[in-house]
Amino acid sequence: MQKLEESVIKDLIEKAISMLDFAYVPYSNYTVGAALLSKNDKIFTGCNIENAAFGPSNCAERTAFFKAVSEGVKTFKAIAVVGGPSKKITDYCSPCGVCRQVMREFCDDDFIIISAKSKDDYKLYTLKDLLPQSFKPEGEIGATAK
């Protein structure tokens, strides 16, 4: 696992927590915030955005990735993810399977996922930990991203 400074981890968690205020969740009332760190040290944030039809809803993690990619950034170091009902973080929040696959499109197996309850209470995972035997953009199961 690549190393991240403690101060960087805490900054990402704080930014993810701040995104809970922007979540649009009239159906589930479950807010999620994310803060994505690019390899050039730019941070992209996201929140979950629901839709009455559910299918068009978007997770916080994908919102952050899509914002970054839409601005030309396609290489990343880490993401912090927080969430809970009514903006209350009660447990660790982990990316869904769709978000994990989007992460794999742009990140290698060593990409760091920070699942946090607070800036002082968090767990670190690699993408490989959370998405073993992933389908990779190179078209080969188990291939390494370039």
Annotated catalytic residues are: 61
Question: Are 24 and 48 a contacting pair, CB within 8 Å?
Answer: yes
E strand intervals along the chain: 30-38, 43-47, 76-85, 112-118, 121-126
**How far is Cα 31 from Cα 44, in angstroms, rounded to an integer?**
17
54 backbone dihedrals φ, ψ, rounded to 5°: 60, -50
